[in-house]
């Protein structure tokens, strides 16, 4: 019997706020354990929560980016459980009436087909503290406890590990674009609980669900889903019942292992949070927050292809990071399509290489959009040649400056006057009879040698294309 996967994700995203969800403690990474804490986030008796409006705003903006319906009346609940990472023995979350409902993400599969992954809802809650395990002891760091945490719950619409990664990639891109989170997996800004079941092909009823908790890497999620899909099929093949449970992923063993039977909502004894009033959102507030949303990445890609004439691949790479796309568009504004393409090639090649080598984002360098635009325009007009462009760009990236002024001051303008270039070519041919003989003997590559000699004689200012034409004509006449 053939089986198909049904996969759903519960993705937790830490929001980019300055303070915690229900208190004024600062959110900072790398601090000494338990230094950014107070009676509220430590769960002291009598300490009362105060809602972080910015967290509500960022959650609603996320929902609007993902096509959700904004719930105008959202309420918080207490999710009761006993564990060291939640000192008050309950988590403040949203169960019955979350902030965002519906929506979804369109993914593109490897074969080019598209699939829409539905979102059930997005709710807001506080993050738990972090438990650190040592050789013989464990410690709880409450610096993370109380961080505003958004949980995005998908429908079980994914059919493979590849679908899940495509969904998470698209989700991450949109959330980073909207500025709601850094979505840094290494720092735990984004992590997922993965739910997977299998069912016979053609069956509509869902199979028995298994959850894999707290996955914080795309590679781990992919491997865990691949393994769990195989394990469940093997269970079915040997008539071993699949039980609803929570499992953990062991990356060293490359397999999942059972943790506990799966809890249901009633196990948490949810009830309305008595210390918080409902979130009431009016039309004016929702409209104000909607106006802050950026252009969606997929729409931006299509527009950039149309507006600048760049390739689909280039638009894809540029738009993956909003800061890069913003920089490119600021530099390309008003350029003709030919120069805009040249500018794109320059950014995709040389600028990105400089970013990788220096470890700096382009916005952290001394390069400005105006300077990059100037370099591209001078190159397109033949004012400077390729070697000069390659020489100037790293300097301006590191030190800044006006490229046009630098070119004038140092006399770096390209030599394109044919008379002057012919003199250089004649000089190179006269000084190198050996390569001339090679060319006459059929070694056409010798022509490249003379182009290089002319570049040396002109101190790198000659236009290589013009020089190549003159060299070919001169050598052909010998």
Q: How many Å apart are CA 149 and CA 52, to the nearest integer?
A: 11
Closest listed residue to residue 404, CA positions, set 444, 358, 370, 430:
370
Judge contact between 301 and 295, C-beta under 8 A: no
Judge contact between 225 and 194, C-beta under 8 A: yes
Using CA atoms in the order 417, 421, 423, 428, what is the torsion angle rounded to 10 degrees? 170
Report helix, strand or coil for 229.
helix
Distances (CA, A) of 138 to 28, 132, 133, 186, 329: 22, 6, 4, 21, 50
Judge contact between 286 and 74, C-beta under 8 A: no
The H or E element containing residue 290 is helix 283-290
- Interior/surface letters 380-389, b for 16+ CB within 10 angstroms, e for the rest: beebbbeebb
At the top level of CATH, the class of 418-477 is mainly alpha
Per-residue pLDDT of the chain (478 residues; tens, 9 = 90+): 899 999 999 999 999 999 999 999 999 988 999 999 999 999 999 999 999 999 999 999 999 999 999 999 999 999 999 999 999 999 999 999 999 999 999 999 989 899 999 999 999 999 999 999 999 999 999 999 999 999 999 999 999 999 999 999 999 999 999 999 999 888 889 999 999 999 999 999 999 999 999 898 999 999 999 999 999 999 999 999 999 999 999 999 999 999 877 666 568 899 999 999 999 999 999 999 999 999 999 999 999 999 999 999 999 999 989 999 999 999 999 999 999 999 999 999 999 999 999 999 999 999 999 999 999 999 888 888 888 888 899 999 999 999 999 988 887 766 555 665 667 677 777 778 776 676 676 677 777 787 788 677 766 667 677 777 777 776 765 5
Q: How many Å apart are CA 231 and CA 241, to the nearest integer?
A: 11
Give how far the C-alpha of residue 32 lies from the chain's centroid of Cα atoms, to the nearest Å.
Answer: 29
The H or E element containing residue 73 is strand 73-74
Q: How many Å apart are CA 315 and CA 296, to the nearest integer?
A: 13
Residues of the chain with CATH 1.10.10.410: 418-477
Q: What is the pLDDT of residue 1?
A: 80
Q: How many Å apart are CA 151 and CA 11, to the nearest integer?
A: 5
Residue that the structure tokens 């997977």 belong to: 196
Q: How many Å apart are CA 25 and CA 38, to the nearest integer?
A: 7
Q: How many Å apart are CA 325 and CA 317, to the nearest integer?
A: 9
The H or E element containing residue 193 is strand 190-200
pTM of the complete model: 0.82
Report helix, strand or coil for 347.
helix
Q: What is the pLDDT of residue 65?
A: 97
Give how far the C-alpha of residue 15 lies from the chain's centroid of Cα atoms, to the nearest Å.
Answer: 15
Q: What is the pLDDT of residue 420?
A: 58
> Would you tell me the crossing angle of helices 161-178 and 297-308 to the nearest 10 degrees?
80
Report helix, strand or coil for 22.
coil
């Amino acid at each position: 019997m053939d089986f198909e996967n049904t996969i759903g994700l519960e993705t937790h995203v830490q929001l980019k706020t300055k303070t915690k969800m229900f208190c004024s403690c600062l959110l900072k990474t790398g601090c000494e354990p338990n230094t950014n804490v107070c009676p509220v986030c430590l769960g002291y008796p009598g300490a009362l929560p105060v809602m972080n409006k910015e967290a509500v705003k960022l959650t609603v903006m996320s929902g609007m980016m993902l096509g959700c319906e904004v719930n105008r009346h959202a309420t918080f609940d207490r999710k009761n459980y006993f564990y060291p990472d939640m000192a008050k023995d309950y988590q403040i979350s949203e169960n019955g009436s979350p902030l965002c409902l519906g929506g979804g993400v369109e993914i593109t599969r490897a074969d080019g087909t598209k699939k829409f992954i539905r979102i059930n809802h997005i709710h807001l809650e506080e993050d738990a503290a972090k438990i650190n395990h040592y050789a013989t002891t464990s410690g709880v760091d409450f610096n993370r406890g109380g961080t505003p945490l958004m949980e995005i719950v998908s429908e079980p619409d994914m059919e493979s590990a590849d679908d899940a990664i495509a969904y998470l990639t698209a989700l991450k891109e949109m959330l980073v674009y909207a500025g709601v989170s850094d979505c840094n997996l290494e720092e735990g800004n984004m992590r997922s609980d993965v739910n997977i079941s299998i069912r016979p092909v053609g069956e509509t009823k869902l199979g028995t669900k298994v959850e894999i908790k707290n996955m914080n890497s795309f590679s781990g999620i992919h491997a865990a889903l691949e393994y769990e899909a195989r394990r469940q099929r093997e269970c079915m093949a040997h008539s071993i019942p699949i039980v609803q449970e929570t499992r953990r992923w062991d990356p060293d063993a490359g397999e999942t292992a059972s943790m506990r039977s799966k809890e249901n909502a009633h196990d948490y004894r949810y009830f309305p949070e008595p210390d918080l009033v409902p979130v009431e959102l009016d039309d004016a507030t929702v409209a104000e927050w909607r106006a802050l949303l950026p252009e969606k990445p997929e729409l931006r890609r299509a527009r950039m292809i149309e507006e600048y004439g760049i390739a689909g691949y280039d638009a894809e790479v540029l738009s993956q990071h909003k800061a890069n796309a913003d920089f490119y568009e600021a530099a390309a504004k008003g350029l003709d399509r030919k120069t805009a393409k040249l500018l794109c090639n320059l950014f995709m090649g040389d600028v990105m290489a400089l970013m990788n080598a220096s470890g700096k984002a382009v916005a952290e360098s001394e390069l400005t959009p105006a300077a990059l635009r100037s370099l591209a325009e001078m190159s397109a007009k033949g004012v400077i040649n390729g070697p000069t462009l390659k020489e100037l760009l790293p300097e301006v990236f590191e030190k800044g400056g006006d490229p046009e002024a630098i070119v004038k001051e140092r006399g770096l303008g390209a030599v394109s006057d044919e008379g002057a270039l012919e003199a250089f070519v004649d000089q190179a041919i006269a000084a190198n009879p050996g390569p001339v003989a090679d060319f006459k003997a059929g070694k056409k590559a010798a022509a490249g040698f003379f182009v290089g000699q002319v570049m040396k004689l002109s101190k790198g200012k000659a236009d290589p294309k013009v020089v190549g034409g003159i060299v070919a004509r001169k050598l052909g006449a010998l």
